[in-house]
């Protein structure tokens, strides 16, 4: 039996190993960058969720305020409100009101 000859590394084997190593490094760097950006995006999502909750609460408060203003507007269009303003601001009296005067001594 003959001796086995030691296999010499071929130049393309060495180059392919280097290329695979470079590709692995590039993939790892890209993975790290994507992971870093994911963390930043999650923080921004949490922050935007908080802002959305605050704005939703403000919208609900403004809806309540709008309802209050609309009910006040309806009341201000009634005869009862007009009479109230006439009595309080202008000192006018209605037909059914009894007027009391002070006697002067």
pLDDT at 56: 97
pLDDT at 99: 73
Q: What is the mean pLDDT of each successive set of 10 residues along the chain, which is 105 residues long?
A: 63 82 96 95 96 97 97 92 83 73 75
pLDDT at 11: 62
pLDDT at 103: 80
In DSSP notation, 58-104 reads HHHHHHHHHHHHHHHHHHHTSHHHHHHHIIIII----TTPPP--PPP
pLDDT at 7: 67
pLDDT at 23: 96
Residue with tokens 């009391």: 100
Is-contact 93 99, C-beta < 8 A? yes
Reported pTM: 0.51
């Amino acid at each position: 039996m003959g001796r086995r000859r030691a296999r010499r590394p071929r130049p393309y084997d060495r180059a392919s190993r280097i290329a695979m190593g470079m590709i692995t490094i590039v993939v790892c760097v890209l993975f790290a960058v994507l992971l870093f950006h994911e963390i930043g995006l999650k923080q921004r999502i949490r922050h935007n969720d908080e802002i959305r909750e605050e704005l939703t609460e403000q919208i609900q408060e403004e809806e309540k305020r709008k309802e209050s203003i609309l009910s006040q507007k309806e009341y201000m269009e009634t005869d009862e409100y007009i009479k109230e303003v006439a009595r309080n601001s202008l000192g006018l009296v209605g037909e059914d009101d009894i007027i009391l005067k002070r006697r002067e001594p």
